[in-house]
Amino acid sequence: MLNRTLNISTSPHITKGIGTDDIMQNVVWALLPVAIFAVYSFGMSALMVLLASVAACVLTEHFLCKFSKKESTISDWSAVITGLLLGLTLPPNFPVWMAFVGGVIAIALGKFIFGGLGYNVFNPALVGRAVLQAAFPVAITTWYPAFLENRFSTVSSSTFTMPFMEPTVDAITGATPLSAFKFDHVITPASDLALGLITGSTGETCALLILLGGIYLIARNMMNWRIPVSILATVYVLSGILHLIDSQAYPPPLFMLFSGGLMLGAVYMATDMVASPITPLGVVIYGFIIGLLVVVIRIWGGLPEGVMYAILLANAISPHIDNLIQPRVYGTAKSVKGS
């Protein structure tokens, strides 16, 4: 019995047992209610967009791995997250072929080109979306109303636009709360925003479900709570100050919090672990920068929404934040400066 060959390994001999794939899977579970609500409120069109972007991401990752003679990495679930996040930021009536192109770009140019999982500089889903916004500015700002009666039996006329064709402008379109404010100065009640009874991107409408998913991930220690908290706090405080100065020109802070892609961005996009700083203080600075940029772009910029650019810019700054902000090492007087 004791002549067996023993395994030897280095300590520690036990692990916490939560793997990177577990974290990714849990993010997917946390996003599912958001996706289901999107399909519930926008119908088949939204489902098509989500399926197209997820399929594009997973297939692109799989074939790029095969192409570069590496083991396929789709089993780590990160491509599914990118696909879901991309789909959730697109309008529900977005042409399926464009969503697919966005997915391919997100993985190929947002992730794979940098070296795959762990090496991406930017949130891949936002890279995909940024390219789509530049390439298809009309389609990506054409909004489809929620809760249409025939939403489960038909799709929007733009959903199945032929590849490489621009969709014809749909007769039924809606205005998002942000564009309604920006261009018509109409303020949607915060309760409608929180519950998702509005028009917007596929998965950005129901702030409550987004927050619930975030709370689940934070409770399971799979998300850095400092990121959404610092972003939302910055936006709330800054827009609150502006609203106090001039309540006619500037929207109320709750409207700012719950409208557009801020919730989805703060909870799921900015928290991309790879593209955000690693130290507690670094993360708060990162969150502040995003919050500041969101307010600046929304209020003084030409676009109604600025979450995407705010996060992409902060992603770019994130490695520099990490270089400058290191934790103070035990027994040393000052924090370490990386070189």
Partner 1 sequence: MGLFNIRKSTFKHGVHPPEHKEETNGLPIRQFSFAPLIILPMAQHIGAPSQIVVREGQEVTRGQLLAKAGGYVSVPLHAPISGTIRKIANVPTISGKMSMGIYLEAFPASSQEVLEGTPVDVETATAEEILKGIQDAGIVGLGGAAFPTHVKLKVPEGKHCEILMINGIECEPYLTTDHRVMLEQAEDIFTGIEYLLKATGAERAIIGIEANKQDAADHLEKMIPEGAPVSVKVVPVKYPQGSEKMLITSVLGREVPSGGLPIEVGVVVVNVATTAEIGRLLPHGRGIQERVVTITGPGVKKKGNYLIPIGTPLRYVLDQVGVDEHVSEVYMGGPMMGVAVSNLDISIVKGTSGIVVFAEKDVKRPDKVYPCIKCGACVDACPISLNPSKLGILAKFEAYDQMAEAYHLMDCFECGSCSYVCPSHIPLVQYFRLSKSIVRKRNTAKQTAEHAK
Assess 185 for contact with partner 1 (CB under 8 A). Answer: no
Q: Which stretch binds partner 1 (CB under 8 A): 33-41, 50-58, 88-96, 111-119?
A: 111-119
Q: How far apart are CA 42 and CA 245, in angstroms?
A: 37
- Residue 286: name the closest of 300, 265, 270 by CA: 270
Assess 9 for contact with partner 1 (CB under 8 A). Answer: yes
Quick one: 320 or 328, whose CB is closer to partner 1?
328
Assess 339 for contact with partner 1 (CB under 8 A). Answer: yes
Q: Which stretch binds partner 1 (CB under 8 A): 3-11, 55-63, 82-90, 163-171?
A: 3-11
Exactly one of 46, 54, 117, 321 binds partner 1 (CB under 8 A); that residue is: 117
Q: Which residues, at least 6 apart from 160, have a Cβ–Cβ distance to it below 8 Å? A: 48, 95, 96
Total chain residues near partner 1 (CB under 8 A): 48
3-state secondary structure of 155: coil
Q: Which stretch binds partner 1 (CB under 8 A): 10-18, 44-52, 230-238, 304-312?
A: 10-18
Handedness of CA 217, 220, 226, 227 (dihedral sign): negative
Assess 168 for contact with partner 1 (CB under 8 A). Answer: no
Quick one: 203 or 282, whose CB is closer to partner 1?
282
Q: Tell me phi and psi for residue 90, to 5 degrees.
A: -95, 155
Q: Which stretch binds partner 1 (CB under 8 A): 29-37, 50-58, 94-102, 109-117?
A: 109-117
Assess 68 for contact with partner 1 (CB under 8 A). Answer: no
Taking the complex as a whole, how short is the minimal distance between the CB of residue 11 and partner 1, in angstroms? 5
Q: How far apart are CA 305 and CA 216, in angstroms?
A: 27
Exactly one of 67, 164, 300, 330 binds partner 1 (CB under 8 A); that residue is: 330
Assess 13 for contact with partner 1 (CB under 8 A). Answer: yes
Strand partners for 143: 174
Exposure of 177 in the CB half-sphere (CA atoms within 13 A): 28
Q: How far apart are CA 278 and CA 71, in angstroms?
A: 28
Site string for partner 1, 219-258 (x = CB under 8 A): --x--x----------------------------------
Q: Which stretch binds partner 1 (CB under 8 A): 39-47, 113-121, 132-140, 155-163?
A: 113-121
Supply the DSSP string of 188-239, one letter for each residue: --HHHHHHT-S--STTTS-HHHHHHHHHHHHHTT-S-THHHHHHHHHHHHHH
Binders of partner 1 among residues 304 to 323 (CB under 8 A) are 322
Assess 170 for contact with partner 1 (CB under 8 A). Answer: no
Quick one: 10 or 68, whose CB is closer to partner 1?
10
Q: Which stretch binds partner 1 (CB under 8 A): 16-24, 133-141, 155-163, 288-296?
A: 16-24
Exactly one of 86, 108, 116, 269 binds partner 1 (CB under 8 A); that residue is: 116
Q: How far apart are CA 313 and CA 320, in angstroms?
A: 12
Residue 204 has a CB neighbour count (10 Å cut-off) of 26
Residue with tokens 């399909």: 39
Hey, what are 244's tokens? 């106090």
Assess 334 for contact with partner 1 (CB under 8 A). Answer: no
What 8-state DSSP symbol labels residue 265? I
Q: How far apart are CA 149 and CA 316, in angstroms?
A: 43
Quick one: 115 or 302, whose CB is closer to partner 1?
115
Quick one: 99 or 325, whose CB is closer to partner 1?
325
Alpha carbon distances (Å) from 204 to 64, 65, 178, 257: 30, 31, 12, 12
Strand partners for 174: 143
- Site for partner 1, rule CB under 8 A: 1-2, 4, 6-23, 76, 115-119, 221, 224, 273-274, 276, 278-280, 283, 322, 326-332, 336-339
